[in-house]
């Protein structure tokens, strides 16, 4: 399994563990994370949840091969696709979510951070949202949350050009809580998670609900809208060209598409 989970002193750690594929996330990995988050909601032993990657890579985002071969399909079961289950759980989690991000955090590796309460990044973290470059569109309500956070024009550059930005910039724009040396990142994030685990769970739950609750309907509606477009674009010739280009290690050519 390429997701490792463990519970220690009230903290559930969900760790990407697929370094040979840059922690790219398959449907099975989304399912494992969605299940872990769902179980954590009802488990009094879990008082905070920490997402980790490796020092060299947080995650390369969706596994492009898995996505192309087993795309989340439209229809009655669309919301049941593992990726959408994960996005639902992460956006509805009532317990504190923390992330320790080092190295590249691509696509959902960055959008999932919009749903975390504390985001710690190492000096080597590189965030990117290359959805348009892949013939796709934003997900995880990032088309709503990122413009709110950055202002429309700065969000447009991130979501349309998809260029990577570093931890300092992510800190300046408010997407990252604190930037740390790579060697201190995980221990610091773990210490903060333990501090949260020692606080009254009900107060943290209410604090989070009060800060986020008013947005929930809008976030849910935007995720559904994005999901429908994303599923359609996954089948598009532009996405097929982008995915093929990645695996053939060449530049994609979109000029023949209108
Ligand atoms: N899906 C599937 N496989 C992926 C992947 C992804 N998203 N990202 C990396 N891999 C695989 C590569 O195909 C390669 O496999 P191989 O060794 O069998 O050839 C391996 O992981 C190493 O990747 P590589 O590109 O050589 O590593 P790198 O250090 O040069 O670059 C990244 C790391 C993350 C910058 C780069 O892999 C990348 O841009 N990945 C794609 C990110 C992406 O577009 N994600 C989708 C967002 S929706």
Residues 190-199 have pLDDT tens digits of 999 999 999 9
Give the residue whose CA is nearest to atom 11 of ligand 1.
Answer: 21
Supply the pLDDT for residue 176: 98
Domain of 23 in residue numbering reads as 3-183
Distance 242 CA to ligand 1 centre (A): 13
Query: Can you tell me the mean pLDDT for 69-80?
Result: 77
The verdict on residue 42 lying in a domain is yes
Supply the pLDDT for residue 2: 96
Could you give the CA distance from residue 101 to residue 56 in angstroms, rounded to a whole number? 10
Query: Can you tell me the mean pLDDT for 29-48?
Result: 98
The verdict on residue 141 lying in a domain is yes
C-alpha separations of 200 from 48, 144, 165, 203, 204 in Å? 11, 31, 36, 5, 7
Q: Which atom of ligand 1 sits closest to the CA of residue 57?
A: 34
Query: Can you tell me the mean pLDDT for 183-188?
Result: 98
Evaluate if residue 75 carries a pLDDT over 80.
Answer: no
Residue 98 sits in a domain whose CATH number is 3.90.226.10
The verdict on residue 114 lying in a domain is yes
The verdict on residue 108 lying in a domain is yes
- The mean of the pLDDT values for the chain is 96
Which tokens is 140 given?
Answer: 């995880």
The verdict on residue 76 lying in a domain is yes
Could you give the CA distance from residue 83 to residue 33 in angstroms, rounded to a whole number? 9
The verdict on residue 147 lying in a domain is yes
Could you give the CA distance from residue 182 to residue 233 in angstroms, rounded to a whole number? 36
Query: Can you tell me the mean pLDDT for 110-124?
Result: 98
33-57 burial: b if 16+ Cβ within 10 Å, else e: bbbbbbebeeeeebbbbbbbbbbeb
Q: What is the separation of C-alpha 10 from the centre of its chain, rounded to a whole number of angstroms? A: 22
Evaluate if residue 133 carries a pLDDT over 70.
Answer: yes
The verdict on residue 244 lying in a domain is no
Query: Can you tell me the mean pLDDT for 36-59?
Result: 98
Contacts of 141 (CB under 8 A, 6+ apart): 91, 111, 114, 218, 219, 222, 223, 226
The verdict on residue 188 lying in a domain is no
Supply the pLDDT for residue 117: 98
Supply the pLDDT for residue 258: 83
Distance 22 CA to ligand 1 centre (A): 6
Evaluate if residue 230 carries a pLDDT over 70.
Answer: yes
Largest Cα–Cα distance of the chain, in whole Å? Answer: 58
Query: Can you tell me the mean pLDDT for 90-100?
Result: 98
What percent of the chain is modeled with pLDDT above 70?
A: 100
CA distance from start to end of the chain: 41
Task: Write the pLDDT tens digit of every residue in 21-35.
Answer: 999 999 999 999 999
Q: Which residue in 97, 98, 16 sits closest to 60, CA to CA?
A: 16
Query: What pLDDT band is residue 247 in, cutting at 50, 70 and 90?
Result: very high
Residues with CB under 6 A from ligand 1: 21-22, 24, 60-65, 104, 106-107, 130, 134, 246
**pTM > 0.95: yes or no:** yes
Supply the pLDDT for residue 76: 60
Query: Can you tell me the mean pLDDT for 200-205?
Result: 98
Looking at per-residue pLDDT, the higher value among 76 and 139 belongs to: 139
Evaluate if residue 232 carries a pLDDT over 70.
Answer: yes
Give the residue whose CA is nearest to atom 36 of ligand 1.
Answer: 60
Query: Can you tell me the mean pLDDT for 41-49?
Result: 98
Choosing from 22, 68, 247 the residue with most ligand 1 atoms within 8 A of its CB, the one to mutate for a pocket test is 22
Supply the pLDDT for residue 151: 96
Based on the structure, what is the number of domains in the chain?
1
Query: Can you tell me the mean pLDDT for 120-148?
Result: 98
Evaluate if residue 112 carries a pLDDT over 70.
Answer: yes
Supply the pLDDT for residue 77: 73
């Amino acid at each position: 399994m390429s997701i490792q989970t463990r519970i220690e002193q009230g903290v559930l750690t969900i760790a990407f563990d697929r370094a040979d594929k840059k922690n790219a996330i398959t449907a099975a990995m989304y399912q494992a994370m969605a299940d872990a988050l769902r179980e954590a909601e009802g488990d009094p032993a879990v008082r905070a949840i920490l997402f980790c990657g490796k020092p060299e890579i947080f995650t390369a985002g969706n596994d492009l091969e898995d996505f192309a071969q087993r795309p989340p399909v439209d229809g009655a079961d669309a919301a049941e696709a593992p990726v959408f289950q994960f996005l639902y759980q992460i956006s509805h989690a009532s317990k504190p979510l923390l992330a320790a991000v080092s190295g590249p955090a691509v696509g959902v590796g960055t959008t999932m951070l919009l749903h975390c309460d504390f985001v710690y990044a190492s000096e080597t973290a590189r965030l990117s949202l290359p959805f348009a470059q892949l013939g796709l569109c934003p997900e995880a309500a990032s088309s709503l949350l990122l413009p709110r956070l950055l202002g429309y024009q700065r969000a447009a550059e991130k979501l349309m050009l998809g260029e990577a930005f570093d931890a300092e910039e992510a800190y300046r724009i408010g997407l990252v809580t604190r930037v740390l040396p790579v060697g201190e990142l995980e221990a610091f994030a773990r210490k903060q998670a333990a501090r949260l685990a020692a606080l009254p769970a009900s107060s943290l739950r209410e604090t989070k609900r009060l800060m986020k609750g008013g947005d929930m309907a809008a976030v849910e509606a935007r995720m559904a809208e994005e999901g429908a477009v994303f599923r359609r674009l996954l089948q598009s010739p532009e996405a097929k060209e982008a995915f093929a280009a990645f695996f053939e290690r060449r530049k994609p050519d979109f000029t023949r598409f209108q």
